[in-house]
Amino acid sequence: MIRMLLPLIVFGGLLALLIAGLQTAEERKLVQSPLVGKPVPEVTLPALHDPQTTRSTAELVGQPYILNVWGSWCWACRVEHPFIERLGQEAGVPLVGFNWKDEREDALEWLERFGDAWSFHLVDFEGRAAIDLGVYGAPETYLVDHRGIIQHKHIGPIDATVFEDLMRRIMQMRAEAGS
Amino acid sequence: MIAEFGQVSLILALVLAILLGTLPLYGAHRGNETLMRLAPSLVIGHFVFLAAAYVALSAAFLNHDFTISYVALNSNLLLPWYYRLSAVWGGHEGSLLLWMLMLGGWMLAVAAFSRTLPREFVTRVLAVMAIVSIGFLLFTLLTSNPFDRILPGPTDGRDLNPLLQDPGMIFHPPLLYMGYVGFAVAFGFAIAGLLGGKVERDWVRWARPWTLAAWAFLTGGIALGSWWAYYELGWGGWWFWDPVENASFIPWLIGTALLHSQAVTEKRGSFPAWTVLLSIAAFSMSLLGTFLVRSGVLTSVHAFANDPERGLFILMFMAVVTGAALLLYALRAPRIMTGPGFDWMSRETMLLINNVFFTVSAAMVLLGTLYPLIVDFMGWGQISVGPPYFGAMFILLMTPIVILLPLGPFTRWKQDEVMRVIRPLAASAAVAIVLGLIISAALGAWNLRAITGWIGGIWVMAGAIAWVTRQWRSSRSGLALHQWGMTLAHFGVGVFLIGVAMVESMTFERDMRIAPGQTVEAAGYQFTLHEVTQVKGANWRADEARFTVHRNDREIAAMNPQKRLYHRGGQVMTQVALRPGVTRDLYIAMGEELDAESGAWSIRIHVKPFVRWIWGGAALMTLGGLVSASDRRYWRRRRTEAKQARTAEVPA
């Protein structure tokens, strides 16, 4: 009888795990990225304003910076935009835009309309570099420290709580870079 | 109006499913003929109303009824009619409707083709399947109604995800669901057997063609998905060990084990309890797959709109269905644990080994898929398990299967001698080793993976041929359909193995910078870019590159990869240019324009040897499953058996 119950017991364990997993699904999604704690992949991409030139993540090594994935088509990017502007003013580190799967004209028009708070933009029209970066969707915000390690990643729009959290982490990264 | 019609149809289907899941079941319990006789009509009604709901949603798509939010989210005015029809299952709600329609279809088929089975048994099978249907209908109506309105409706819809606007995607989900849902039949048979109390070999035989058909559909569906990912995602891979892929692969592995254990239970009566357990597991894993895809519990490249609420519902449903099934198993299985013994060298042992390895593989994939959850649960930080884990484990687990596969059919039931089994295969083994080495050398594929792949693949194919030849000679009537089916499927395994080994070890893959007028060299092919132009489609426009490909100064292909921009949603999609071939695929995907002045682009070029063999092998397996399922042996013997059962015990 006990032996016959074994499948049921195993199934019970599986069920418990899945229920627990479901409870924390939201939180896990926020932090889960295989790339956190790893060096940011070196991506070289055309710049947005001047498509003739290319910019690379390599040129930023040595200082902490923020990488923000956005697109003019992305509705949630508009929602988080006020906080992006605050990041640009208050963080004191470069704020790199990662313009994802967008059209150049649309992107420029969008910036014209809502304001360009970023230091500069990398353009990934096709989304291939985004795969290397492990982008799930826009908006997404990465914090990269002065050694080029991705310290943190936030998936989804930035709100007031997330903003506080990001600022705290940025200050810590700046302190580490300074020492 | 049409939406309300669909909605009412769904509710009526639910009512009929509830009736079907209760009254005839009670009738079967009490031996009440009148109640049992209700089942077939209820099954027909249930199917008709599901079909009506499905047609209603399709009509809404065809007529651009954007007041239905599901339509507005998954279609638009520019979408061609065939994609509007396939858009019905392009999102979560509609794909559930398809799922249920198929369940209704399987139930109808069971009712139609099982007239010769004992009435109590069929009634129980249908009732169990109806209970499954109740769960899904409630799920749809309560959490994921495809007929929800938004008023006033938008003037145009948001468009179907461009990734899904593809012929491969039209057929992939229906086939996959046919497989998933088909396991509900085997599940129904197992539960009906347990409920009946006296589980016997009969119901295993009755369940076999259904299981084979479901397995064949699942194989085809997975292969089609893999093929689609290969050319549509533009990554050039054919399998990513993504949670959603794994969700379909786990039921496949369990289903494969189930097919083989059913063979033993039917022919010899050994391990019946194990067969029951696998039947329950195969369907439970299909439910788990549904849960993983739709709950957002794991992050994946192609999950549906994620919603923990929905996840909780499926989880609870799975708890009830699988929990009840396993409880019933615990109560009833001790009474069916009988089976004749067998020698260590016997067909039973061979199939037992098959079962052990396939079940362990399924457990391994399940563990790898859920590992991020486990690690998180235990507080060990956050880790995800990548392809290296799966790849290594799979080579380890599948090697014994490949070595032993050709021996299986040659081995006799109950008892055999090692030499008698090996002798007829000595030639196959010699051919495999010699030919494998020669081909690897000739192709320049001189590495361990390619060589073992060729040897293993030829070994399996030669073994299948050797078996057919021997059967052909020894029996006057030739081979039965189910034997042909088995041989085809096993031969397909060999083809598949070669494809995998070659692709994994010999793929050429590089990003190159190329301007119009330039030629680049890749794996012996010269790719020349002539120009990049603008082209227009129904709901997109694109940059198109014009390539010609030469080999040995002979033009072999003109290839035109595109980068498409879809008007609605503004999504950019890579349309890969593919030149398929039996021994290699040429593959060009456009990257970025690097320099507007010279018109240079970054271009990704792949040369993939033998990649078609992967899907060719899978197609052979699918065909084998269908051929086996169509063997009249399973159907004919039922009738004679029904007569004989009253008089005497039938020898196997």
How, if at all, do strands B562-566 and B525-536 pair? Answer: unpaired
Probe site for chain B from A38, A44, A126 (most B CB atoms < 10 A): A126
Q: Is A114 within 8 Å of chain B by CB?
A: no
Of residues A138, A85, A141, A140, the one with CA closest to residue A116 = A85
How, if at all, do strands A140-144 and A65-70 pair? Answer: antiparallel
* Percent of chain A as helix, strand, coil, to the nearest 5: 45, 20, 30
Cα separation, B456 vs B436, in Å, equals 8
**How far B231 CA lies from chain A's nearest CA (Å)?**
15
Q: Do B323 and A8 touch (CB under 8 A)?
A: yes
pTM of the model: 0.80
pLDDT, tens digit (0-9, with 9 covering 90-100), for B13-57: 999 999 999 999 999 988 888 999 999 999 999 999 999 999 999
Tell me: domain A32-178, CATH 3.40.30.10, correct?
Answer: yes
Cα separation, B24 vs B45, in Å, equals 15
**Class of residue B141 by CB neighbours under 10 A (exposed 0-12, middle 13-18, buried 19+):** middle
Is there a contact between A160 and A166 (Cβ–Cβ < 8 Å)? Answer: no
Chain B residues 342-371 within an 8 A CB cutoff of chain A: 370
Sign of CA dihedral B613, B614, B615, B617: positive
Q: Do B572 and A101 touch (CB under 8 A)?
A: yes
- Examine the pLDDT at B280 and tell me if it is beyond 70: yes
Lowest mean pLDDT among A74-78, B383-387, B476-480, B516-520: B383-387
Q: Residue B460: how many CB atoms within 10 A of its CB?
A: 27
A-B interface: how many C-beta pairs under 8 angstroms? Answer: 110
Task: Please give the helix or strand (H or E) that residue B388 lies within, else none.
Answer: helix B387-404
**How far B64 CA lies from chain A's nearest CA (Å)?**
23
Structure ipTM: 0.78
Lowest mean pLDDT among B160-164, B337-341, B384-388: B384-388
Q: What is the amino acid identity at position B126?
A: L
For chain A, give every domain's residue range.
Answer: 1-30, 32-178
Q: Do B591 and A128 touch (CB under 8 A)?
A: yes
Is there a contact between B71 and B60 (Cβ–Cβ < 8 Å)? Answer: yes
What token pair was written down for B61?
């798509």
Q: What is the amino acid identity at position A96?
A: V
Chain B residues 586-625 within an 8 A CB cutoff of chain A: 590-592, 594-597
pLDDT, tens digit (0-9, with 9 covering 90-100), for B411-446: 998 888 888 888 889 999 999 999 999 999 998 888
What token pair was written down for B419?
């030499």
CA angle at B518 for the pair B515 and B521, rounded to the nearest 5°:
115
* CA B129 remoteness from chain centre: 20
Place of tokens 């988080």: A80
Percent share of chain A, pLDDT over 70? 88
CA angle at B499 for the pair B386 and B239, rounded to the nearest 5°:
25
In sequence order, the β-bridge partners of residue B574 are: B563
Q: Do B569 and A25 touch (CB under 8 A)?
A: no
How many residues in chain A? 179
In sequence order, the β-bridge partners of residue A144 are: A65, A150
Confidence of residue B163 (pLDDT cuts 50, 70, 90): low
| CA distances (Å), origin A113, targets A75, A78, A107 | 14, 11, 10
